[in-house]
Structure 1
Amino acid sequence: MDFKLETFLPYRLNQAAERVSQRFAAQYRVRYRMTRPEWRTLAALGAYGRMTATEIGANSSMHKTKVSRAVRALEEKRWLKRSEDASDRRIEHLELTPAGRRIHGEMIELARRYEQELARLLGTAGLKQLEAGLSAVEAGLPAQAVRRGPKD
């Protein structure tokens, strides 16, 4: 049997996701000088509020070193602040500063415009089919804890 990588569904899904992600990343990289891990960290804190770095990593499927670098960069931009846990000094809680919340709001608008662009590209029927397919994959293949290396 002949196997063609370019028609293997997991490969195609990964390639499509990477193209979509890279195009969005190009928009916020130019405007905010932000990396993907920084965007994911900012988005998680903006969506869920105060979190630990471990929670951000689990939420965004990022390795702890990427989260750590993103937290440091966002803190340097004064978009994020840390606070020590009252009961366990080893734990730091992270949350957006007022400036970080402002940037998050701007990023959400940028994300909405990009999502609309993708919806126009797919068309109404294509978008419904894609959403149905993604829902089926998500329901049929629940998320599993995956050990990731620093290069993931």
Structure 2
Amino acid sequence: MPRASKSDAEKAASGTLQPCRRSRSIVISDATLTETPPVGLTKDAREAWRLAIACAPKGMLTALDVTVLERWARNYALYRKIAKQLDHEDVVALDEEGNISDKLNPRFNALIKVQQVLAACEKELGFTPVSRARVKADPKDEEQNEYDGF
């Protein structure tokens, strides 16, 4: 089982902090996204866009994230649509006689693929707890510690 890595503060306190050992984290720039979704999104995708912008921590999403966020919004809307259809159907497919076959419903397979795309987008955008921990918001918002230079 791997050991938990020390934070930069712990490394600095023990005298082992070196530039090559610093925690690698992403710093977000100033240009933020607006709540206005791009043209061409469906109603559900526009709602997903607004939800993502409203719930994202300040400074988390930038103008460079527009394509990934659009992909996430489209796939989120598609996920909801397929899941709603699948709620009224069986997960396994039926043969011509109406008996249960060994094959999965094609909508279920599509739902799994959309979930994979959503998970990848969520990791890139910092929508998961682990990815949020790796992303730092704008450093201007953080309080300055008088001992940072030591």
Q: Same fold (TM over 0.5)?
A: no
Name the structure, 1 or 2, with higher relative contact order (CA <8 Å, separation 6+): 2
Q: Which has the higher helix share?
A: 1
Q: TM-score, structure 2 length as denominator?
A: 0.26
Greater CA radius of gyration, 1 or 2?
A: 2
